[in-house]
């Protein structure tokens, strides 16, 4: 995996899966029941280490990703976060001005248990298995912080952007600084590389994508590399579509994650010549399986397998995904014939 992040085309491509530790696994559900609340699980080094390692033991992925949540950063900044079973996250109602005045210097104190988890995972992982840390991108975090929950169209954050742009820009500044500090600390604790999830980048228009997806990510990459010049960073701007090549060129990331709705021709011709790519199997295939899964795996490999590729889903596996389909996907990737340019 680290060789691909350095620009090499490896066959078979390394493979991991977003949300690979989670509710589709019975062993995860057992630990989750022990933990109590979801955030208690995220902040327990013992339990978070265990659930991070579960899919490595079961499937032998080439990378483990820290078990945590993007919303630990707002929580660490002082905006209370909790999770409602069956409904998702909730964040304490806070004015936009108050959010924009949060102190990014508070994050590491609250997130020490997460950093302890990183070290614990790295010590337990096989040396050949890459450990990924992560955080949420500033725009995506801002959408939750402003709305107080996830929303289907990000209307509260988009409206705030149009009506109170300066306050939103100040909040983005806070989140950029917090992200730099947090990602650097994960790398120093033992992560080999980090990924930044911009789940709601696709909700932005052209100008907004430039200002609130590309520019904050560029600043994060620059800030982390100022502290860790060898840092490997993956950006995942979900829904970026035609912006992917510009994002790859201008942010300085080492690889770009690609969602399942992106055109594989566009990714191969316009993005992969710039940076390695990661993706982009539709997560629904982890539910439906069968020959449709085989064909979809082959399609990704046919388009992207000749260049530097990290095989992954185009977003996280869903709770109704099936372990046997994950096994089938991995076997299909690892037994496939090499693709040539």
Q: What is the pLDDT of residues 69-123, one digit of tens each?
A: 999 999 999 999 999 988 899 999 999 999 999 999 999 999 999 999 999 999 9
Quick one: pLDDT at residue 86? 82
Of 61, 40, 46, give the one whose Cα is nearest residue 317.
61
Annotated active-site residue 144? The verdict is yes
For residue 87, the tally of other CB atoms under 10 A from its CB is 9
Quick one: pLDDT at residue 340? 79
Of 23, 58, 249, 250, the catalytic one is: 23
Q: Which residue has the tokens 């829904």?
A: 239
If 0-12 CB within 10 Å is exposed, 13-18 middle and 19+ buried, where does residue 124 land?
middle
pLDDT higher than threshold 90 for residue 15 = yes
Annotated active-site residue 32? The verdict is yes
Are the beta carbons of 252 and 222 closer than 8 angstroms?
yes
More confident residue, 44 or 339: 44
The two tokens of residue 233 are 């960073």
Quick one: pLDDT at residue 191? 98
Of 24, 28, 43, 69, the catalytic one is: 69
pLDDT higher than threshold 80 for residue 162 = yes
Annotated active-site residue 295? The verdict is no
Of 24, 28, 32, 259, the catalytic one is: 32
Annotated active-site residue 69? The verdict is yes
Q: For the whole prediction, is pTM greater than 0.95?
A: yes
Of all residues in the chain, the percent with pLDDT exceeding 90 is: 97
Annotated active-site residue 19? The verdict is yes
At 291-331, the pLDDT tens digits run 999 999 999 999 999 999 999 999 999 999 999 999 999 99
Q: Which structural domains are found in the chain, ordered by start?
A: 2-335 (3.20.20.210)
Of 28, 144, 182, 247, the catalytic one is: 144
Of 19, 122, 158, 332, the catalytic one is: 19
């Amino acid at each position: 995996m680290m060789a691909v992040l350095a620009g090499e085309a490896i066959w078979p491509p390394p493979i991991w899966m977003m949300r690979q530790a989670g509710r589709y696994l019975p062993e995860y559900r057992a630990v989750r029941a022990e933990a109590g609340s979801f955030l208690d699980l995220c902040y327990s080094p013992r339990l978070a280490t265990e659930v991070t390692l579960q899919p490595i033991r079961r499937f032998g992925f080439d990378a483990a990703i820290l078990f945590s949540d993007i919303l630990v950063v707002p929580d660490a900044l002082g905006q209370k976060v909790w999770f409602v079973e069956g409904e998702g996250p909730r964040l304490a109602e806070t004015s936009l001005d108050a959010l924009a005045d949060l102190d990014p210097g508070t994050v590491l104190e609250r997130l020490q248990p997460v950093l302890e988890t990183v070290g614990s995972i790295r010590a337990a992982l096989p040396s050949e298995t890459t450990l990924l840390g992560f955080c949420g991108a500033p725009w995506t975090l801002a959408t939750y912080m402003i709305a107080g929950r996830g929303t289907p169209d990000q209307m509260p954050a988009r409206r705030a952007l149009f009506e109170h742009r300066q306050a939103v820009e100040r909040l983005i500044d806070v989140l950029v600084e917090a992200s730099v500090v947090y990602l650097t600390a994960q790398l120093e604790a033992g992560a080999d590389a980090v990924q930044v999830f911009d789940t709601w980048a696709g909700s932005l228009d052209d100008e907004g994508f430039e200002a609130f997806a590309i520019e904050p990510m560029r600043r994060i990459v620059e800030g982390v590399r100022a502290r860790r010049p060898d840092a490997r960073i993956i950006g995942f701007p979900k829904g970026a579509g035609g912006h992917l090549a510009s994002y790859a060129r201008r942010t300085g990331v080492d690889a770009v994650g690609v969602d399942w709705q992106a055109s594989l021709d566009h990714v191969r011709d316009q993005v992969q010549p710039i940076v390695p790519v990661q993706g982009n199997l539709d997560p629904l295939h982890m539910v439906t399986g069968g020959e449709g899964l085989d064909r979809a795996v082959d399609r990704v490999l046919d388009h992207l397998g000749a260049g530097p590729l990290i095989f992954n889903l185009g977003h996280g596996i869903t709770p109704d995904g099936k372990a046997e389909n994950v096994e089938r996907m991995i076997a299909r990737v690892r037994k496939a014939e090499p693709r040539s340019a």
